[in-house]
Structure 1
């Protein structure tokens, strides 16, 4: 009996020893299968039952009324500034400035966003969180760059030559009939080449998006980690009616 137990222990020891040795595992074959996601694909009832409560809750939050638009807000209803662009820039200025000031002690002087970043109109009627997702589907955060007056002048020339209604707030640019820059004001004061300005924009533009190369000369920059979309939602929660106007913040004189 003792001999059998000894043999058993010896055999188990060898098995454990060899099973513990490192073995090289190599990939021998890859198989792929194309699964078409279309109306023919049948729903999985178990998965659907699990997801439905979450989907319903998300839709409830996204579609809850936050504010009201008395007319359609669009990025194409003005030549050099638009209702949608003015709204976006004004929202960034009002919502991001308290955050920036609390961190740095400085105020945001003005805002520059890009026309192409506005992805949808805001239809007349109720405004919800879903509206903000439609207008700004990107995960762009608000950053504030410190630019010299010289760099701001380069920015103004870019805006003049772009021929697009890039959203601005806190900044006024007036062009003459020949497309020359007639005046530039920041917070109502003439642009000063010797000043340093705190310019709120998106992380996309700070990194040179839309060929805004002047941001590369920023003396410093602060990322607020505040999504532009979330700033919109926070703004909508505070107001009853959203009614931006095309104004004189960026215009070209006729004569």
Structure 2
């Protein structure tokens, strides 16, 4: 019996010693920086495969959609610019019918952001590529129903930023110190207890550019329409773009 126990102990000791002898080594990890430049030889097979897609894409992007009679940039005005007015009016015109067909309501005004204008439009033929340069983001148009009190907060925001944020459907007159003298939506004074349907981008509605007055609206309608697509659709249907700076947002 003692011999049996002694043999068992020796057996287990051998197992333990065997386990301890097993060594675990960390795998070696090597890193190498490979520059993506013209020194890399092209793969003929891959190049031949993607060439038809590349040619089709370039043909689509470079196809002429409309004509622009005058170059437009976002720095050509104090509180409203031709390109900003164009973008806001495009949203009003393209999103308006979609919103009305789904809700029976009409858009009262549009507010976008000056920083969202990512490129200008050259004089001459305007292509799909121009629209992508103007609006490279995937922002979608949404319509927020907000109170007249929130519209007042919006006006205070515009006083503070002193920037040509694109608007449509509203006329704002400020004094020389950027204080609002008067504001009307569709020719009528803003009523504190009334709600208004304001078209904007989903980015701004979520508080982008500190437009916090859009958050927690009375209602929110998503129309599944990207801002860039609205611009492209508008470009397709007009022969010549309107280039106008008007009195919708001015100082006097």
TM-score range, shorter chain: 0.7 to 0.9
Secondary structure of 2:33 counterpart: coil
- Structure 1 residue 118, shift from structure 2 partner: 0.4
Query: Do 2:162 and 2:178's aligned partners in 1 also have CA atoms closer than 8 Å?
Result: no
Runs (4 or more) in structure 1 with deviation over 6 Å come to: none
Summarize the alignment of residues 36-47 of structure 1 with structure 2, pairs less than 5 Å apart. 36-47=35-46
For structure 2, the 5+ residue unaligned runs are 1-25
- Structure 1 residue 224, shift from structure 2 partner: 1.3
**TM-score (norm: length of structure 2):** 0.87
Q: Which residue of 2 aligns with 1:4?
A: none
- Structure 1 residue 81, shift from structure 2 partner: 0.3
Distance, in Å, in 2 between the alignment partners of 1:31 and 1:94 is: 57
| Alignment length (residue pairs) | 227
Question: Which has the greater radius of gyration?
Answer: 2
The reply to whether residue 173 of structure 1 matches residue 168 of structure 2 is no
Distance, in Å, in 2 between the alignment partners of 1:74 and 1:195 is: 36
Q: Which residue of 2 aligns with 1:83?
A: 82
Distance, in Å, in 1 between the alignment partners of 2:103 and 2:32 is: 54
Q: Which residue of 2 aligns with 1:250?
A: 249
Secondary structure of 1:101 counterpart: helix
Superposition CA RMSD, Å: 1.3
| CA deviation profile, 1:189-231 (whole Å, cap 9, x unmatched) | 1111111000000010011100011111411111111110000
Secondary structure of 1:144 counterpart: strand
Summarize the alignment of residues 193-208 of structure 1 with structure 2, pairs less than 5 Å apart. 193-208=192-207
Distance, in Å, in 2 between the alignment partners of 1:70 and 1:113 is: 24
**TM-score (norm: length of structure 1):** 0.86
For structure 1, the 5+ residue unaligned runs are 1-26
Query: Do 1:71 and 1:243's aligned partners in 2 also have CA atoms closer than 8 Å?
Result: no
Distance, in Å, in 1 between the alignment partners of 2:181 and 2:232 is: 36
Distance, in Å, in 2 between the alignment partners of 1:119 and 1:143 is: 20
The reply to whether residue 55 of structure 1 matches residue 54 of structure 2 is yes
The reply to whether residue 66 of structure 1 matches residue 86 of structure 2 is no
